[in-house]
Amino acid sequence: MENTAFNIEYKPRTGSEAMCEALLDEGVEYLFGYPGGAIMPFYDALPDYPLKHVLVRHEQAAAHAADGYARATGEVGVCVATSGPGATNIVTGLATAQMDSVPLVAITGQVGRPALGKDSFQETNVMGMTLPFTKHSFLVEDPDELYPTMRRAFEIARSGRPGPVLVDVPKDVQFAACNDNGYRRLREAPQPPAGPALEAAAALLKKAKRPLILAGHGVILSGAEKELRLLAERTGTPVVPTLLGISAFPDDHPLNIGWPGMHGAASVNRAIDKSDLLFAVGMRFDDRITGAVDKFAPNARIVHIDVDPSELGKVIRPTVGIAADAKLALRGILGHFEETEDVEGCAEWREEISRTQEPEKRTEEAARGEYGPIRIMDAIKAAAGEEVRLVTDVGQHQMWAAKFFEFTKHNSHISLGTMGFSLPAAMGVAFAYPDEPVWVVAGDGGFQMNIQELATIRDFGLNIKVAILNNGYLGMVRQWQQFFHNRRYSETPISGPRYEEMAAAYGLSGRTVREGDDVEATVKWAQEQPGCTILDFHIDPEANVFPMIPSGMSVNEMIEETGAAYGGA
């Protein structure tokens, strides 16, 4: 949207001023970055514009914070870095956003045009380096193209399947005089999907006896939660959110049967194996869900809806493939069903699934009062309430949070597959929603990867609470070594600081928690403290996540061990 908040007429005189105006005209409020020589002209212009810059302590954190902001708001996140090592440090964040379809614009400084291609100080081919990890990368060498290129970057980032876009700007272009040569919007309203495909998808759903709706991250990106819920309720179809689809459909809804895959619920994996229709919306059939593709859902027809046509048939060949925005597609399909709930639809199928869930529920309930991940997750939810947003990165803690934390608020689960993501991403979430509780659940390995951002959190007074599930290992790798490498724990034991003392060193609050301590009282204390609080939960070093699907096996070939996932210390 155009900037209307300030009665100032901006007439760009330099490239840096054009960049700032483009950010304002795109409605940007926050940008996360770290200055350096090649981006210095931009930082020189920045104080003259009503943009809020967050100084991180590492460029990777800038990308992750922008990512967290984008996931929480649905808007384009913005990060800034200088040339060379500054730019290379954001690559992990760009790849993360690309894999999870998160709209980002990354701005990097570059050596001046006369120095390009001469191995100049901190010169790196940022455009070439980032092409595999972005929707598009620009190197802007014409000052008059800077403003329209910046605007175009935002359009590309948010259109279709969202993703990151990089704009690399030589230092002399930032200094150069430039003209605003106009900008033509590229964005077009998404087109409704073809009627025959929608009719065919609806017909398959009507005929199915054992259907499942697989709800992916695309449901959240499209804002299709209402349509998903209506479709599930009108047809009585059980809903299976993917890991990134968690919080697209409330955990406490009776049709939500849990999430699938390598560490998902065994009952859900068995339901997929027995299903006769998988109605997949906004998901990519990741290998962590499918296991062995040739054995995946052998009796099921597939309806696959995704905004990216390249996803259709990439992993699983669909019976009906619909390349469309999830919201528009689901609206079209809903037109083929009555506007009343079908309480009888799939009743026998739901009852069968419910029976298979009983052993899991008994095991979980038996462990609920014990010291360990379930009790910790319950305590956080009780203390933080329904409005809490939970941020994790990757590992055992991620699986425990996804399995045992009850996500009832829309888009309240922020997670992905990159260690070190959770703390800086939570900063982005906290800036987006300063009045809502934000919790980080992290492992002791991943937390140390961007631990320096505690200084950023302190400086801005962010109300972020941190629960470290500290088992003294790189837990998920150790678990694989236990099962497949004869407990040869090669380079997985990991040490760390005394987090309570470290919190104090940063001017924050912290406590250490062990078996026998009052978990609920400690979490409540943390929730009530102003600012950031760190809780160091020492848990069983060999606690495992179950079930577990070994590589190359199907979703019906799981390692299970009753009760062993819920250990304390």
Q: Are 326 and 304 in contact (CB under 8 A)?
A: no
Give the Cα separation of 198 and 322 in Å (integer): 8
Pick the catalytic residue from 29, 122, 129, 529.
122
Cis amide linkage into residue 547, ω under 30° from 0: yes
Pick the catalytic residue from 283, 427, 476, 548.
476
**Exposure of 491 in the CB half-sphere (CA atoms within 13 A):** 0
Question: Residues 474-498, buried b or exposed e (16+ Cβ, 10 A)?
Answer: bbbbbbebbeeeeeebeebebeeee
Give the Cα separation of 149 and 127 in Å (integer): 14
509-513 and 464-470 beta bridge pairing:
unpaired
121 carries an active-site annotation? yes
Q: Are 223 and 331 in contact (CB under 8 A)?
A: no
Residues 6+ apart with CB under 8 A from 162: 101, 102, 103, 221
59 carries an active-site annotation? yes
Task: From 272, 265, 268, select the one nearest 295 (Cα to Cα).
Answer: 272
Give the Cα separation of 492 and 481 in Å (integer): 9
Coil/strand/helix, residue 569: coil
Pick the catalytic residue from 6, 11, 52, 121.
121
**Encoded tokens for 382:** 């009780």
Pick the catalytic residue from 171, 274, 327, 403.
171
Within a 10 A sphere around the Cβ of 186, how many other Cβ atoms? 11
DSSP letter string over 192-222?
Answer: PPPHHHHHHHHHHHHH-SSEEEEE-HHHHHH
Long-range contact list for 380-383, CB < 8 A, 24+ apart?
Answer: 380/405, 380/439, 380/441, 380/465, 380/467, 380/523, 381/405, 381/406, 382/520, 382/523, 382/524, 383/520, 383/523, 383/524, 383/526, 383/527
476 carries an active-site annotation? yes
Give the Cα separation of 316 and 298 in Å (integer): 11
Look-up: residue for tokens 């990089």?
A: 166
Q: Are 114 and 135 in contact (CB under 8 A)?
A: no
Amino acid residing at 115? A
Beta strands in 21-139 (DSSP E): 30-33, 52-55, 77-81, 104-110, 136-139
Give 369's DSSP letter: T
Pick the catalytic residue from 59, 75, 225, 360.
59
**Encoded tokens for 143:** 């000052």
Active site residues: 59, 121-122, 171, 476
